[in-house]
Each structure stands twice: as structure tokens, then as C-alpha cells.
Amino acid sequence: DAGVTQSPTHLIKTRGQQVTLRCSPKSGHDTVSWYQQALGQGPQFIFQYYEEEERQRGNFPDRFSGHQFPNYSSELNVNALLLGDSALYLCASSLALGTVPYNEQFFGPGTRLTVL
Amino acid sequence: SQKIEQNSEALNIQEGKTATLTCNYTNYSPAYLQWYRQDPGRGPVFLLLIRENEKEKRKERLKVTFDTTLKQSLFHITASQPADSATYLCALDIAGTYKYIFGTGTRLKVLA
């Protein structure tokens, strides 16, 4: 049973560019959350997708957008990249509310984004 | 504003001892609290979840307590081993939302 997978593993971009990160959830999971983790910090919640809709968003600007596909996989898009966007981007999958233990999150290995 | 605090300094303990990590929060009323382990360059791995109406939860050598009056959770690893060396993160839900807030993590090093 494959866990959460993310691609690419590493990415280097320059300021002003756009990037798309991809995530495939754990088999059977229907909810995907995205996090940004700067070095030495805890993960910061970006947003969560369920039933192809963004149902919760953290304190991130509109430059951060996402999408969830019918097979539950998800993309994170970041436009107009800034140096401060350099971080590890984590995808976590879980089961929707109402299923025990619905709030256990399974994380992928992350995508390391470097903005030069 | 809502805040979660974990010991920012690394915790070094001798193999075989019990490691105790602390997670304090303010201005929250979480329904549950989770603990994760994170190794360098990897995503967090779920360890334990404890609900607001539970005082204590155990899993093998791990024990978590949750005191909603003190707004504190303690995470214990008994009979610690060098393989337990990692960063440990606590995370809370924000009531009424699907948002999760993580602490900054505590780096644990178990010395052989």
C-alpha cells in the first residue's frame, strides 16, 4: 500500500517564476492538506482540499492556490515566487470528518523548493 | 493570538532514561492534540492522538497526557533508545475549522 507521494523531490526556481507541486494521497484517503515548513520551524497550514474544493485556508496570500482532482490527488501552485517561499512543502492526507481516526494525517516526504 | 510552544532547545538524555517533552498552548480550545515525529529531510510521522476528554494515552513506550486546564500536553518516551533521536512536533486542531496548528518542535537526542 503506497503512502503519500510527492513530486518533484527538489526544485530550484528564480524569483517571479511559478511552480506546481504534486501530491498523491494514501490509498483510501479523500482529504489533502498542504503545509509549508521553513528550516527549524513547524509546518504551517496552507490549505485543505476535500471533494475537489478548498474547504479551509491558512494565512497565506492568494499567490498560493491549489486543486484537487477526482482521484483525490492534488496540486499546489505558487505564483510570483519570492525568496521567502523557499521551504519544504508537505502534503498530508487523511480521511474526511466522521471517520475514526479521521484526523490522523499521513505526510509525504515533501518537496524542497529553493527560490534564488 | 493562538500560540503553541515547545522547548526550542534540544533535549539530550542518556539511553534507557525517560524523555519528557512539553507542549503548551494559549488561546486555543482544541478538541484533540497530536504528536508527530520528524526525521531530518522527511515528512512528519503520526505517533499519537489524544482527545480533550482523555487524560492519558499510551502506545508501547510512548505516553501522552493532556491537561486542558493547564493547556499543556506532556509526551513521554520510556526506555529511550538512540533510534528515538528526532524532532517531535505537537499539533492542535482549531475548533470549528479544518485547520491544524503545529508547534516548532523539540529536537531529542538520545545518547548511547
Put simply, the chain B residues between 6 and 35 with a CB less than 8 A from any chain A CB are 32, 34
pLDDT digits (tens, 9 = 90+) for A2-54: 799 999 999 999 999 999 999 999 998 999 999 999 998 999 999 999 989 99
Q: In what helix (H) or strand (E) does residue A29 lie, and over which residues does it extend?
A: none
Which of A43, A103, A112 is facing B32, going by the closest CB pair? A103
Q: What range does the domain containing B53 cover?
A: 3-111
The pLDDT tens digits of the residues spanning A79-89 come to 999 999 999 99
Q: In what order do the strands lie in the sheet with A5-7?
A: A5-7, A19-24, A74-78, A64-68
> Which of B:43-82 have CB within 8 Å of A?
43-46, 49
Residues of chain B with C-beta less than 8 angstroms from the C-beta of A4? 43
Burial profile A28-45: b = 16 or more Cβ within 10 angstroms, e = fewer: ebbbbbbbbbeeeebbbb
CATH number at B26 reads: 2.60.40.10
Q: What's the pLDDT score for residue A104?
A: 81
The confidence score (pLDDT) of residue A101 equals: 46
In chain A, the residue whose alpha carbon lies closest to the alpha carbon of B107 is A40
A109 interfaces chain B, CB cutoff of 8 Å:
yes
Domains in chain A, start-ordered, CATH in brackets?
Answer: 5-115 (2.60.40.10)
pLDDT grade, residue A98 (50/70/90)?
low
Confidence at residue A100, expressed as pLDDT on a 0 to 100 scale = 46
Inform me whether the C-beta atom of residue A60 falls under 8 Å from chain B C-beta atoms: no
Mean pLDDT of chain A: 92
Phi-psi region of A83 (alpha: psi -120 to 50; beta: other; left: phi over 0): alpha
Which of A15, A13, A3 has the alpha carbon at shortest distance from A94? A3
Q: State the average pLDDT over residues B44-60.
A: 92
Mean pLDDT of the B93-104 span = 83
**What pLDDT is stored for residue A97 in this prediction?**
61
Beta strands in A1-116 (DSSP E): 5-7, 10-13, 19-24, 31-37, 44-50, 53-57, 64-68, 74-78, 87-94, 106-107, 111-115
Share of chain B above pLDDT 90, in %: 71
Total domains in the fold of chain B: 1
